[in-house]
Amino acid sequence: MNVAVVGATGAVGELMRRVLLERQFPLKSIKFLASEKSAGKQIEFACEKHTVQLIRPEAFAGVQIVLSSTPSSVSKEMSPIAARHGAIVVDNSSAWRMDPQVPLVVPEVNPEELDHIPKGIVANPNCVAIPLCVALKPLQKISRIKRIIISTYQSSSGKGAKGLADFDAQLGPWVRGESVPKPTAHRAQLAGNVVTLDWTLDPNGYTEEENKVINETHKILGDSQIGISPTCVRVPVKISHSESINVEFFEPISVEQAKAALATAPGVILMDELKGEFPQPVHATGSDHTFVGRVRQDPGNINALNLWVVADNLRKGAASNAVQVAEELIRRGIVK
């Protein structure tokens, strides 16, 4: 495959490069594109030096698959241009996710959506929605979902390299008991704190992030009737998002049924609390899997279960999911 990585020098772009190598993605050629700030930089990839090129229309000539992780504004402009050059763009921004002509794909959940890509663009979902859907899809196959109540424990790296830099700058002084510098990327002190308004508040009282979880989960699970109630929260963790999920079905699913379905579900690692195991950010970081544990009956509702889900937000929540989408494009013969 002839591949271009757009936004190659950002946190997710860098990880896309690593994941392509780790997963031995079938590459014929690769090029790295970025904005003016990073164009001209040297990058090493598979023991070869590459010069980062400026994102511009001509750069997409001959490219079959574009893996893109740029701000939405850049994607809105450049993704259609790349598609017009004949490439399929797998786009990690939120620019195209809710476009009805753009499939929003988690390969373990709705790969069949890739069979119809009218704009040449596939959207990579939000980093909370991806593990949520990976964990719920095997259960949705057993019974239709009525409601989802989710509270998240999201890591600093959800705000990319600048989030991590902000968090790191706070940590030293906080640990030493000194005054913590004003946050530069997060919206409040994150060291030793918990921040629920770390995103813009929309008029409905939910944050942009929470509304993404609602809308994208509806689209990925293919059921806009599910009542979804999210509370998104940033916690002082560097990488990996955790999710406390209460899911109510139209028909009851026993814990045994749920565990059996999850144990064999693609992309899921089921953890056994009786062995003292439970999903943790420190274990999930570096993995492409979604870790699911603490599967238990809701004591207040016979039709509901509680789950605890953790996944690496930079990998499964972004870079790895995009590369897996590209792999699926090849597997389905959509890109040859």
Distances (CA, A) of 332 to 115, 128, 225, 281: 8, 26, 30, 33
What values do phi and psi take at 122, rounded to 5? -115, 135
Of 61 and 197, which CB lies nearer to a copy of itself in the complex structure?
197
Q: How far is the CB of 133 from a copy of itself (least distance, A)?
A: 16
Confirm or deny that 158 is annotated as ligand binding. yes
Is residue 253 within a helix (H) or strand (E), and if so which, with residue range? none
Shorter beta-carbon distance to a copy of itself: residue 89 or 128: 128
Q: Please indicate if the annotation marks 287 as binding a ligand.
A: no
Comparing CB distances to a copy of itself, the nearer of 244 and 257 is 244
Burial of 232 (0-12, 13-18, 19+ CB in 10 A): buried
Least distance from a copy of itself to the Cβ atom of residue 206, Å: 7
CB 305 within 8 A of CB 143: no
In whole angstroms, the minimum distance from the beta carbon of 164 to a copy of itself comes to 12
Q: Shortest CA distance to 93 belongs to which of 327, 318, 330, 321?
A: 318
- Min dist CB 294 to a copy of itself, Å, is 6
**34 marked among binding-site residues:** no
Q: Say which residue the tokens 């195209």 belong to.
A: 96
Residue number, 25 or 206, with CB nearest to a copy of itself: 206
The verdict on whether residue 313 carries a ligand-binding annotation is yes
Using the minimum distance from each CB to a copy of itself, give the nearer residue, 231 or 257. Answer: 231
Which helix or strand (DSSP H or E) is residue 171 part of? helix 160-175
140 is in an annotated binding site: no
Q: Minimum Å distance from CB 278 to a copy of itself?
A: 5
Query: First-to-last CA distance in the chain?
Result: 8
| Structure tokens belonging to residue 54 | 């400026």
- Residue 38 is labelled as binding a ligand: yes
Strand 145-153 relative to strand 227-231, pairing: parallel
Give 329's contacts (C-beta < 8 A, 6+ positions apart).
65, 88, 90, 114, 122, 335
| Nearest residue (CB) to a copy of itself, 40 versus 192 | 192
Q: Is 9 annotated as a binding residue?
A: yes
Q: Per the residue annotation, which of 127, 133, 232, 289 is the catalytic one?
A: 127
Q: How many CA atoms lie within 13 A of 145 on its CB side?
A: 26
Q: State the nearest-atom distance from the C-beta of 208 to a copy of itself, in Å.
A: 13
Is 143 buried (19+), middle (13-18) or exposed (0-12) by CB count in 10 A?
A: middle
Q: Of these residues, 85, 186, 241, 289, which one is catalytic? A: 241
283 catalytic, yes or no? Answer: no
Q: Which residues bind a copy of itself (CB under 8 A)?
A: 147-149, 151, 153, 171-172, 175, 187-189, 192-197, 201, 204-206, 214, 226-229, 231, 233, 235-238, 242, 244, 246, 255, 273-274, 276, 278-282, 293-294, 296-301, 304, 306, 308, 310
- Run of H or E including 221: helix 208-221
Contact present, 217 and 129 (Cβ < 8 Å) = yes
Q: Is 127 a catalytic residue?
A: yes
Binding residues for NADP(+): 9-12, 37-38, 157-158, 313
User: Binding-site residues for substrate, please?
Assistant: 154, 208, 234
Binding site residues, as ranges?
A: 9-12, 37-38, 97, 154, 157-158, 208, 234, 313
Please identify every residue annotated as catalytic.
127, 241
